[in-house]
Structure 1
Amino acid sequence: MATCPKRLALAGYFLSAAVATAAPTAIEVRGSQLLGPDQQDVGEADWLARLNNWKRDPNGQHAAWLDAMRSWRSSQLARIAYDDVQYRRPELRWTQRNFVQPQAMVEDRYLYDPVAGRYTVERYLNDLERRYGGIDSVLLWPVYPNIGIDNRNQWDMVRDLPGGIPGVRQLIKDFHARGVKVFFPTMPWDTGSRDPGQPPHEATASLMAEIGADGINGDTMDGLPIEYRTASDTTGHPVALEPELSFKDDGMLAYNQQSWGYWPTSLVPLVSKWKWLEPRHMVHVCDRWATDRTNILQDAFFNGVGIESWENVWGWWNQFTPRDGEAMRRISTIYRAFPEHLVSADWRPHVPTLHYGVYASEFPLAGKTLWTIINRTDWSVSESIMRVPHQPGQRYFDVWNGKEITALVRDGYAELSMPLEAHGYGAVLRLDRDTSAAGLDSIMKRLAQQAAKPLRAYSNEWTPLPQKMTPIASTAPARSAPAGMIKIPAATFDFQVRGIEIEGENKPGLDVQYPWESSARRGHVHRLAIKSFYIDKHPVTNAQFKQFIVASAYRPKDDHNFLKHWEHGSPKAGDEDRPVTWVSLEDARAYLKWAGKRLPHEWEWQYAAQGNDGRLYPWGNEWDDSMVPTPAKSRDLPPPERVGQHPKGASPFGVEDMVGHIWQWTNEFSDEHTRTAILRGGSYYQPQDSYWYFPQAYKLNEHGKYLLMAPSKDRSGGLGFRGVRDAL
């Protein structure tokens, strides 16, 4: 980007506040944060130093530290020849008020109704407003963790959303009608799927312009390169840039107007490096795995930055507790009431307070000043919270509680008292004589209503969301083996399997919850009695599915991607004996109902593949490449191999093509927000160059978890099925 000397170092935006003298104390950078005054409790190797942290006196170090911070800022901005032109663009200034942003899985049932087959933006937004006060933007997530089950790339997966591009455009318009901006992600690691035919930055910028999105989130990116800014501007539809990780180069701050903050927490809150360098930069503090979000909410409020209110984490529902939700509501109410303060050029973190463990930041404007306050301690305080310089006629308002403060004024200072709950929050507004704040009376009334019930009265208990397994109806029992099926004898089976989601830690609520379990979890062990049944020797083929189409005239309501690999309504010549793919769970069920069969329960599938000796693969305990199709590793997706080509790879019962051929549908699970299918067997398609593609589950004690949204998106070129029939 060309640099204009007149705009260097924010063009006077806050250089007037910088101190040009040499820094009297060192400024220590910890990733995307800066240590506060006399801060000693982050990363010390000496346990005794940590033990004695309570002795420090950050207030006594504040003046020297603030001088050093200003000097450090001036030198850093000069070093990178900083130009603030992107922050002055009228069409992108909304980023400076983009305080609350969830990452939302497109599969979330509050966002899309799979029964009605339509987006439900009103339901989604109403729920968030009810629980924590609503949002300013949303990051819609249509790609990971399902990407890699076939060769569809990240842009294909947006186009495969229900309704296609017109449907996505309307979805975004629905958010805009409620004042909410919309982001989509870009994945730099997606280099093993279908080649889009143009550089990623151009493909992403073009798609964002086509659908009318407002921003790009750079997944795993430590700053979106300048090419994304240029490509977006070239489309005539400029969007905001927001990387997930801290900038690898400070110069990226100039054109990435937003970022996420994965912040370590300490007793003395750290200061956002990017917010300090550019007060108009919007950080969203994020901790997707935290079930108690007090720390990230306090850290954000202290810095006057935003919050990534992420709850649906790859299908694991991590809902805000009632206490955290209410804290978020009050924080966002204050943010939206005083947004101009939060981008103040002269904001001052760590202004002194009069209590141990209470920390404050000051956001001054002409004639009025806002302080945000956090209490890090386990006890409440209410007297003499702060002492601030006072001029005659100044008034003070406890905006957290919606009350005016009667300050104790003496010796040119005002001593402010207000209640701060344990691990709670506070905020004060000061107005100079003859200064007013628009709408202050109504804001104070609203805040007083919210504060009528203290945060401690709200539960902070987190519990996982219960799941239910979708029933699979029994079939008419068969007396003998139907054609192409193998009888599996009754047995007591030790069912042991674990979910191999790429991310997810091992918290309650992850993976799936079988009927005998108290909650979902990654690892599953259960002994169960299995009745005798028949199972297809091979996966259902194209020829067999064609018979169904001819006999039933079946055509799904949502037919996008349905039998995508066929031509003119029939399999390609030579493909008749290959497994049918590009069929949704609903399509598979329709075929099996017609055929008098059903899907296998997962434990039936595993028992048919494993027998009763716990082997890792159908043929034994050692992997053997000759037992499975040759993997496809290019960016193209060749058709799967014909069935029955590896008879030596059969299970102890003689069932073939169980592993390494195509993924196979089994059970469906759902909770209030997410539908999931358990896939078994892994597939022949192995996209290369990234860890983040849908992981294979070749071992018989592993399963894949596939998020479900709508048939248009769920259908895959690497996913088919086989049937089961009950036996007498």
Structure 2
Amino acid sequence: MTRHLIYLSIMAAFTACGDGGKAPVQQDTVIAATGGPDTLNRIVLIPGGSFSMGADDSTGMPDEYPKHTVRVDSFWMDEHEVTNREFAAFVAATGYVTTAEKPISKEELMASLPPGSPEPDSSMLAAGALVFTPPHHRVPLNDVSQWWSFIAGASWRHPEGPGSDIKGREDHPVTQVSYQDAQAYAQWAGKRLPTEAEWEYAARGGLSNQLYPWGSEALTTGVAKANTWNGHFPYDTTTTDGFTATAPVKSYRPNGYQLYDMAGNVWEWVSDLYDVNYYAQVGNGAANPAGPAKGYDPEDPGQQKHVIRGGSYMCSDEYCRGYRVSARMKTTPESGLANLGFRCVRSVANHGQ
């Protein structure tokens, strides 16, 4: 989801109106302080190994097939998503200004639109980000403009736009951060973003052939397992899992690797470019795959996009189901979204440097 796609969706809407498994690995989990400036977030050692990447059954989307074997080396991963508190420390230390806090030029936006598109209103050029603005009734689930709005002034400091802030949400995952913002934080912290293969391997938590980080038990069975949408998306939700938007990190039980929120809460950036056909191209036995050299999204072929993983508080069985461990989503690198954050990793060879 990007500003240019919202613009296209809104244009289309107005045009239409005008036209009438296996048990978790038993091991001693190793947790350490990061050793970098963001000492609040502990990192967990993820032991290297091979696993089957991709959808485990018929519930997957086409880009989750074919299932294929991948090997990843050991790495360290943040035990939870980067929080507002941690991101604030980064900004205070560096003076960093996020993508959402910068206006864009008309030329930049026009370059991302199909030839012949009308010029955007000046309001689309202001600094800002996409905010979840739910309707109060059923809407077509193929029209994202029904629940996403570009709000001038929205940013990580003001996730819902002017008048909102993060007071009381210091331990919630930071949102409204672009791929570039996540990379900048990771570099400052002496880390990097995970590859898609590392992310899925870690999310599985040592389990094989399971749908979710906790196994295959349904979300609605037993205690709340993740922060997802409860009700009819996007107009009706409940606090069955304790929250209606983002939740503080570590609000739910961790997976087998002692990682929190690998399903739900917020989507997470990974380093790979998105190619709908990549799984068919990479084949079996790839070691530490880093994704395609060039991305391809048939729904938006003019844009290079990055993969995001894990689902969010907006995912439900009737919309997206992104909390499955194999589920993939994509967005452009400049995107700031109210349900998108990140966590970092560090290669074992670089730990302590």
Q: TM-score, normalised by structure 1?
A: 0.30
Residues 505-524 of structure 1 show CA distances to partners (whole Å, capped at 9, x for unaligned) of x6xxxx4xxxxxxxxxx513
Of all paired residues, the percent bearing the same amino acid is 30
Please point out which of 651, 671, 677 is paired with 2:306. 677
Taking the aligned partners of 1:501 and 1:590, their CA distance within structure 2 comes to 35
Aligned to 2:46: 488
Change (3 A) 1:570 1:549: farther
The Cα offsets for residues 122-153 of structure 1, whole Å up to 9 and x where unpaired, read as xxxxxxxxxxxxxxxxxxx824xxxxxxxxxx
Question: Could you list the per-position Cα deviations for residues 510-564 of structure 1 after superposition, in whole angstroms to 9, with x for gaps in the alignment?
Answer: x4xxxxxxxxxx5133322211101111101000000011001001355222313
Residue 658, structure 1, aligned to residue 262, structure 2: yes
Tell me the equivalent position of 2:326. Answer: 701
The answer to whether the Cα contact below 8 Å between 1:535 and 1:724 also exists between their aligned partners in 2 is yes
Q: Is the 8 A contact 1:618 1:659 kept in 2?
A: yes
**Structure 1's 558 and 185: CA in aligned 2 closer, same or farther, altered over 3 A?**
same
AA at the equivalent of 1:717: A
Say whether 1:645 aligns with 2:251: yes
Identify the residue that residue 185 of structure 1 maps to in structure 2.
Answer: 12
- Aligned residues of 1:668 and 1:675 also touching (Cα < 8 A): yes
Q: 1:489 to 1:570 in 2, by over 3 A?
A: farther
Deviation of 1:612 after TM superposition, in Å, equals 4.6
Give the structure 2 partner of residue 618 of structure 1: 213
Instruction: Determine which of 141, 144, 168 is the counterpart of 1:574.
Output: 168
Q: CA deviation at 1:697?
A: 1.6
Whether the 8 Å contact between 2:308 and 2:331 is mirrored in structure 1 is: no
Residue correspondence of structure 1 range 200-211 to structure 2 within 5 A: 204=14
More strand by share: 1
Q: Residues of 2 paired with 1:716 and 1:106: CA distance?
A: 8
* SS of corresponding position for 1:600: coil
1:624–1:502: structure 2 CA closer, same or farther, 3 Å change rule?
Answer: closer
Q: How does 1:239-258 map to 2 (within 5 A)?
A: 241-242=18-19, 256=20
Structure 2 match to 1:668: 273
Is it true that 1:723 corresponds to 2:338 in the alignment?
no
Q: CA deviation at 1:703?
A: 1.7
Distance in 2, Cα, partners of 1:570 & 1:578: 14
Q: Note closer, same or farther for the CA distance 1:635–1:587 as it changes in structure 2 (3 Å cut).
A: farther
1:588 and 2:179 aligned = no
Indicate the residue corresponding to 1:371 in structure 2: none
Runs of 4+ in 1 over 6 A off after TM superposition: 498-503, 566-570
What is residue 88 of structure 2 aligned with on the other side? 546
Against the structure 1 CA distance between its residues 720 and 636, is the aligned structure 2 distance closer, same or farther, given a 3 Å change threshold? farther
| Superposition deviation, residue 486 in structure 1 | 0.6
Pick which of 586-595 and 565-574 moved more.
565-574
For the 8 Å contact 1:682–1:696, the answer to whether it is kept is yes
Query: CA-to-partner distance for each residue in 1:75-106, whole Å, 9 max, x for gaps?
Result: xxxxxxxxxxxxxxxxxxxxxxxxxxxxxx99
Distance in 1 (alpha carbons) for counterparts of 2:2 and 2:52: 36
Q: Cα 1:699–1:558, aligned 2, differ >3 Å: closer, same or farther?
A: closer
Q: Which runs of 5+ in 2 are unaligned?
A: 21-30, 35-40, 102-127, 130-154, 238-243, 275-294
| CA RMSD of superposed structures (Å) | 3.7
> Quick check: 2:32–2:42 contact (8 Å CA) kept in 1?
no
- The answer for unaligned runs of 5 or more in structure 1 is 1-104, 108-140, 144-153, 159-183, 187-203, 205-215, 219-227, 229-240, 243-255, 257-478, 512-521
The answer to which structure has the higher helix fraction is 1
Give the secondary structure class of the aligned counterpart of 1:665: strand
Opposite residue 310 of structure 2, the aligned amino acid is: G
What is the CA distance between 1:687 and its match in structure 2?
8.4
Q: Distance in 1 between matches of 2:2 and 2:214?
A: 39
Alignment of 1:67-146 (within 5 A): 142-143=5-6
CA distance in 2, matches of 1:707, 1:573: 28
Using CA pairs under 8 Å that are at least 6 residues apart, name the structure with larger relative contact order, 1 or 2.
2
SS in 2 for 1:627: coil
